[in-house]
Structure 1
Amino acid sequence: MDSQTVTLTALGYALVGMAYTAFVLRLWLTGYLRAPRNPSAVYLFGAVASTALWGWLELVVRDGRPLYWLLLGILADVLRYGCWYGFMLTLCRSSRNGKLPQGMAWLPWLAVCIIAFGVLAPFIGLLNIVAAGDAERLLLISAMALPVLAMVLLEQIYRNVTEDSRWNVKPLSLGLAGTFLFDLYLYSQAVLFKRLDSDVLSIRGAVHALMVLLLLLSTTRRNDWIASIRVSQKAAFHSATLLVAGAYLLFISAVGYYVRYFGGEWGRALQVGVVFSALIVLMVLAVSGSFRAKLRVLVGKHFFRYRYDYREEWLKFTQTLSSNHSPQDMGQQVVRALADMLESPGGGLWMKSTGEPVFRQTAHWNLVTTLDKEDADSPLCQFLAVSGWVINLEEFRSYSKRYGDLTLPLWLHSIAQAWLVVPLTSGGELIGFVVLARARTTIDVNWEVNDLLKTAGRQAASYLAQMRATEALLEVRKFDAFNRMSAFVVHDLKNIVTQLSLMLKNAKRLHANPEFQQDMLMTVENSLDRMRQLMLQLREGATPPGTAVGVDLGAIIQRISAVAAKRGRQLEVTLVDKVITRGHEERLERIIGHVVQNAFDATDPSGRVWLTLDRASGQARIEIGDTGHGMSEEFVQERLFKPFQTTKQAGMGIGAYESFQYVQELGGKILVKSALNKGTLVTLLLPLFEVQQESDLNVLGAS
């Protein structure tokens, strides 16, 4: 190293010594070692003190001291890692029995081995034991192994800490992760290239000194650090994966070194080739579903009492079922959710056909499609419905007596991948079953797997039953909408039939009258146009064709008055002002005409029916009154605007309902005042459609 690099390195370790010495004094003054002593506090004090000692020893080594000072510095480095191991393992202990969770019981032994290896490695080099191999190489590998295990322990703490304790442990995790990752980078690079990077080594002390700020912040939050910790299978799986990857990289580093050592001139090229090939293999294993499945089964089988983390499994299962974007995808989501529980690569869903007592394949995922049907009263379906068992086809082939007199259909035998048959029952009824393909790894289908699949099958069945009920409800709603629209059409056809019947009745008496002939042609033409519109409405829906436009209400009222006059009835019309509203002219005319016709029907020929058009409160107002029979208050409030409710003997009760719905669509209102034997007043309030007769430019020019 040059003088500047040596100076930078010395300053970094001086910072480590001063910072951690100050940290030790603070812990002492705050009573971290007072009785009763908390084990985590003792280990933390030891880790901070040994780090301070390591910093001062490394500073002394930079002054050119004898070799044993370097040995003391290395041992101090191993000691501080040992104290951090003890601190993190203490945090992982259960608050109830003081023991590590079952999945972590092996970690203390691994920590002891790595610490022992770290202590022995410098003595091997000092004693020049040739049989152990290259002493410098062993020293670098041992230094690399220390941060690898430290990162595994730190990951266990942060992944499994409760939410309320994560705030306490977050600065600690960040500070330790910074120091461990830096050391891992430094020594992994040294193992690969058989030398320490002087630039990285020169700032090692400064990086460790900066991390003390985060550690200090953690000590100000909570003395007991975390209330409790529980190791989940997911965290154990990730930790095992990280540990396997670290061990694999250490092994490849050693292999690479010996390849380079014995490779002669080709040694460096061979080393690069070996390392690159090993990284490719590691990537292949990382994305391999079979490898991950084998590792997950290994972790669950050997480190936990139960194979499954039921909370994680249920959350994942529910999320998979809820992620479908359409009812058509629900079947495949059910298959995937069940398959993921057992590392199965595929499966198929059989459900009961609508209106047919057979089960057919309705969804499949990475499984062959089959058109074979299974009768609902077949031995397979009856066995699934009555027992609710999960059928293990491999067990059935070797020991069929466990399933009684069950016989399997030929189509199920023909599916080479078939492994398990999971019943889907809801409300005691078999609504379907799932056939899962053989798992990627060997899985013992024991009582735990059977219980999990049966419970998950019931949950999936409830989703499928709900989906079918929703589809049936949508169909009912569609039929309801069609029936409602048909009622409107029938009501309009009744009015057309009434007009044509009246015309035919008068034709016998006035068929030779030219005016009657002209009026008859107009009536037939209008009736034909109206029937065409009804056909279009049936085809396109309940909304009338065309868009809402400005409609002159005065012109509509004049036409209605003329029609009433031809029928021998007088409508007293008062038009205060020209009023234009927004809507469909033909439909507005039908609604106003319907109200007028109701007034005529309820009023004797000697009575009065009147209509007034004006503006009120920024709205178009149409008042239609009569002196007829009237309606009760109860009928107006409860029955008037409901379909199929009427006071007429031959009526259908659709016209008032249709009028109310359409006026509301336009943003208007219908108000009714009525009294028995006194008459009725119907007020239609419609939005105004203002038409400006003059341009704004003309107005500005005039001013």
Structure 2
Amino acid sequence: MAAFFSGAFLLIKAEKKKPALFLSLAFFLLAIRELFRLCFLSESSIQFLRYSLLCEPPLIALMTEGCAYQFVERMARPRRIALMGFIFVSCSVIWAILGIYYPSALLTLSGDVVPVLAIGNIERAGAFLILILSVGLLWRLENILRESEGGLRWRVKYAVLGIFIIGGEFIWEMGYRLAYLKIVPVQFGINSLVLVSGVGFFVFAVVRHRLFEVEVYVSRYVVYRSVVFLGVGLYLVILGLITTVIRYTGLTYSDLAWQAFLYLSLLALVVVGLSQDVRNKIRFFINTHFFTNKYDYRKEWVEYSERLVEVQDEKEILSQLEKMIYETMFINWVTIWLKDKNNVFKQVVPQDESNGSKSIDLEHPFIKLLRESVYLIRSQKYGYLNDLGILKLPDSITSFIDENNIALAVPLLAKGEFLGFIGVGPELTKLDYGQDDIDLLKGLASQTATALDMVRLHEELMQNQKLHLFNQLSIFVMHDLKNAASLLSLILQNAPTHIHDPDFQEDLLSTISSASRRLEKVMMKLRALKPPEERELRKVDIAKVVGQEVDNFRRLCSGIEIKWEPPSEVYCMANEELLKNVIENLLMNAKDALDGRGEISVTVDKVDDQVVIRVSDNGPGIPVDFLEQKLFRPFQTTKKDGLGIGLWQVKNFVEAMKGRITVKTSPGMGTTFEIILSCE
């Protein structure tokens, strides 16, 4: 009743398409089969059981094709699938006709003491056919379930489970039938119970989820992974066939021989499954017989893109390209040539370290030909041809092609630049390359060329960054040298007048010593070429350090009045070397702003738990736009010969001492820099 209801529902409610029609007929046959079995159990007439057997192969054939047509329109060769279905259904019908005309070859009642329902030759062939169809049915169901994701899997899983149960029941029943060559009516109850559960799941999915509005596409890679499942099914079929032959011929075997057979069969299955050559042949057969396109371009494109995301240099890109070509195409030879900085094309894949890489120049005839072509093929049928047609090539090109075993070549182009080319050897199938192979290799070449171009641009950018960093370092060095040179210049300017003054002589030696130490630090930085270490903060007498810098600066500057009233000891957490550099830079900037005449004021005050250092001048002040947008930024200056480093360093040094710096300025009234340091 459940099977009859399912068939009627599909026929009435579902859209009149092939999947619904095939499955509805299959369920009607299943209902008729169970009805005949019920009649056999009530009437004990073997004829009813024969009628039930006649329903089995057609119903499995129709159920298999019904599942296939759920996604056959998205597969590449629906006509071939339809032809295979027609053959299976036709074989089932022919088998049923033979069973009608030769009922004794279908099922007989034998046995004197205990009656046995022995199957005949026609039923044995039918059971074998059902076993094959059932394995194919489960294989298709596996593909549908694998390819369904998320909500789609939730909608189809109960229908798949229901038909899977039905197919699995037939596999178990046919396997038992072939192994023992008989039918056991006592098993009909459990068989019917299993079938009812399967039909129930299917009906639930059809009613609840509108199953036949779902369209499922099966990827070729799901088919590849299902080959193991199909192999197990074939193994069971072969096992049942051999068992049938042994029982039919009356042969016997020992337990040892049987175990040896099982072991050798499984070993052969594993060997076949692990053979790369066998897997390639299976993959090629599926690609060329069941799909319009030989390759799944979307899958290959996404996978190769994901691989390229992780690469860091040109060598890794080429390694991934080589690996991708070997995994995807049916070949055993790949050669890749790239142009170097001298416009010489070198073979980078494969690399022969013993003999060195091969190379050709930009004017080689093969390079000239490929630069003007989308692809180049060496065909067994047509000779040499490219996108423009059949070619007659000179010996210089054909000898290069033969020497490098190139059957298909495509250029590596990035932004119109010819970077090199990819060449692959003949296909293992001994067939000529077609448009699918060209499109795949062109796609990989396009991705590779783009990745190579990006890597090279990245390398150029890194070089430019290194050059930029070197230039920045040079500017910092020049700034330190400039300050040292300024101090020495002031000494030279005052030397003719004060050279005999003992105090000036003392200042002269002190200034030269300071400049010498500064130059030594610059040289140490250049040798180390690394960022300066963090400076240790300790309690420093701020007034003393500032006073020393002011005194040194006052001796060197004539014409500028420096106001400084040293306070009592003022201690604060700071770094003496950084603080000296800060005060020196601010005093030098104030001097430059006054242009030789004016007043500089320096004060140190303690306010609560902070020390405030002020350096002021009465110069022209800082322009408002520069103050708001460029002050304290590197390489920004208002001086004609300035480098724009001093105030940027001052700000960084103050912040390194956990302090802050502010500035107040008025046009024509001067500028005041205020440094605030913590005493804690």
TM superposition score normalised by structure 2: 0.79
Match of residue 112 from structure 1: 89
Secondary structure of residue in 2 paired with 1:674: strand
Matches within 5 A, 1:196-345: 207-212=194-199, 214-223=201-210, 225-230=212-217, 232-234=219-221, 243=230, 246-247=233-234, 249-251=236-238, 253-255=240-242, 258=245, 266=253, 268-324=255-311, 326-345=313-332
Secondary structure of residue in 1 paired with 2:212: coil
Measured after TM superposition, the shift of residue 445 of structure 1 is 1.4
Measured after TM superposition, the shift of residue 544 of structure 1 is 0.6
Match of residue 5 from structure 1: none
Distance 1:396 1:626 in 2: 90
Secondary structure of residue in 1 paired with 2:396: coil
1:499 pairs with 2:487: yes
Measured after TM superposition, the shift of residue 159 of structure 1 is 5.6
Match of residue 654 from structure 1: 645
Q: Deviations for 1:428-480, whole angstroms, at most 9, x for unmatched residues? A: 22111123244443342134433443344233212211111111111111111
Distance 1:285 1:62 in 2: 46
Distance 1:571 1:148 in 2: 101
- Is 585-594 or 492-501 further displaced after alignment? 585-594
Q: Deviations for 1:200-235, whole angstroms, at most 9, x for unmatched residues? A: 999665554444554244123443623545555445
C-alpha change, 1:398 and 1:468, in structure 2 (3 Å) is closer
Match of residue 114 from structure 2: none
Q: Deviations for 1:3-56, whole angstroms, at most 9, x for unmatched residues? A: xxxxxxxxxxxxxxxxxx36755886x796269756544555555555566667
Matches within 5 A, 1:288-687: 288-324=275-311, 326-354=313-341, 356-364=342-350, 370-392=356-378, 402-405=391-394, 407-408=396-397, 413-415=402-404, 418-503=406-491, 522-541=510-529, 543-546=531-534, 549=537, 552=540, 554=542, 556-567=545-556, 569-571=562-564, 578-580=571-573, 586-603=577-594, 605-612=597-604, 623-660=614-651, 670-684=661-675
C-alpha change, 1:234 and 1:577, in structure 2 (3 Å) is same
- Is 571-580 or 174-183 further displaced after alignment? 571-580
- CA contact under 8 A between 1:572 and 1:609: conserved in structure 2? no
- CA contact under 8 A between 1:336 and 1:347: conserved in structure 2? no
Q: Which runs of 5+ in 2 are unaligned?
A: 111-118
Secondary structure of residue in 1 paired with 2:433: coil
C-alpha change, 1:87 and 1:387, in structure 2 (3 Å) is closer
Q: Deviations for 1:147-181, whole angstroms, at most 9, x for unmatched residues? A: 20212332454466698755432321233334434
- CA contact under 8 A between 1:91 and 1:226: conserved in structure 2? no
Secondary structure of residue in 2 paired with 1:425: strand
Find 1:88's aligned residue among 61, 67, 70.
Answer: 67
1:126 pairs with 2:107: yes
Measured after TM superposition, the shift of residue 372 of structure 1 is 2.2
C-alpha change, 1:490 and 1:240, in structure 2 (3 Å) is same
Matches within 5 A, 1:89-168: 89-92=68-71, 94=73, 101-102=78-79, 104-112=81-89, 115-116=92-93, 124-126=105-107, 138=125, 141-158=128-145, 165-168=152-155
- CA contact under 8 A between 1:384 and 1:430: conserved in structure 2? no
Secondary structure of residue in 1 paired with 2:268: helix
Q: Which runs of 5+ in 1 are unaligned?
A: 1-20, 691-703
TM superposition score normalised by structure 1: 0.77
Distance 1:651 1:473 in 2: 28
- CA contact under 8 A between 1:151 and 1:180: conserved in structure 2? yes
Secondary structure of residue in 1 paired with 2:213: coil
C-alpha change, 1:78 and 1:413, in structure 2 (3 Å) is closer
- CA contact under 8 A between 2:541 and 2:569: conserved in structure 1? no
Q: Deviations for 1:283-321, whole angstroms, at most 9, x for unmatched residues? A: 233233322332333333334444333333433343343
- Is 290-299 or 424-433 further displaced after alignment? 290-299
- CA contact under 8 A between 1:101 and 1:230: conserved in structure 2? no
Measured after TM superposition, the shift of residue 484 of structure 1 is 0.8
Distance 2:676 2:29 in 1: 88
Task: Give the residue type in structure 2 aligned to 1:347.
Answer: V
Q: CA RMSD in A?
A: 4.8
Task: Give the residue type in structure 1 aligned to 2:552.
Answer: V
Q: Deviations for 1:667-690, whole angstroms, at most 9, x for unmatched residues? A: 87654443321212334567x584
- Is 174-183 or 394-403 further displaced after alignment? 394-403
- CA contact under 8 A between 2:332 and 2:428: conserved in structure 1? yes
- CA contact under 8 A between 1:256 and 1:271: conserved in structure 2? no
Task: Give the residue type in structure 1 aligned to 2:397.
Answer: L
Match of residue 13 from structure 1: none
Task: Give the residue type in structure 2 aligned to 1:226.
Answer: E
- CA contact under 8 A between 1:259 and 1:271: conserved in structure 2? no
Distance 2:486 2:234 in 1: 94
Distance 2:50 2:344 in 1: 80
- CA contact under 8 A between 2:411 and 2:422: conserved in structure 1? yes
Distance 2:383 2:41 in 1: 74
Distance 2:569 2:95 in 1: 105
Task: Give the residue type in structure 1 aligned to 2:643.
Answer: M
Match of residue 8 from structure 1: none
Measured after TM superposition, the shift of residue 326 of structure 1 is 4.5
Match of residue 3 from structure 1: none
Distance 2:464 2:565 in 1: 46
Task: Give the residue type in structure 1 aligned to 2:66.
Answer: F
Find 2:158's aligned residue among 161, 166, 171.
Answer: 171
C-alpha change, 1:515 and 1:623, in structure 2 (3 Å) is closer
Distance 1:482 1:112 in 2: 80
- CA contact under 8 A between 1:575 and 1:614: conserved in structure 2? no
Secondary structure of residue in 2 paired with 1:457: helix
Distance 1:426 1:340 in 2: 24
Q: Deviations for 1:101-134, whole angstroms, at most 9, x for unmatched residues? A: 34523341353266458857896352699xx987
- Is 433-442 or 569-578 further displaced after alignment? 569-578
Task: Give the residue type in structure 2 aligned to 1:591.
Answer: V
Secondary structure of residue in 2 paired with 1:531: helix
Distance 2:476 2:460 in 1: 24
C-alpha change, 1:281 and 1:419, in structure 2 (3 Å) is farther
Secondary structure of residue in 1 paired with 2:288: helix
- Is 78-87 or 379-388 further displaced after alignment? 78-87
- CA contact under 8 A between 1:161 and 1:226: conserved in structure 2? no
Question: In percent, how many aligned pairs have the same letter?
Answer: 24
Task: Give the residue type in structure 2 aligned to 1:567.
Answer: L
- CA contact under 8 A between 2:662 and 2:674: conserved in structure 1? yes
Distance 1:196 1:529 in 2: 107
- CA contact under 8 A between 1:348 and 1:367: conserved in structure 2? no
Distance 1:193 1:369 in 2: 67
Distance 2:354 2:198 in 1: 57
- CA contact under 8 A between 1:360 and 1:371: conserved in structure 2? yes
- Is 133-142 or 288-297 further displaced after alignment? 133-142
- CA contact under 8 A between 1:260 and 1:267: conserved in structure 2? no
Q: How many aligned residue pairs are there?
A: 659
Measured after TM superposition, the shift of residue 88 of structure 1 is 1.7
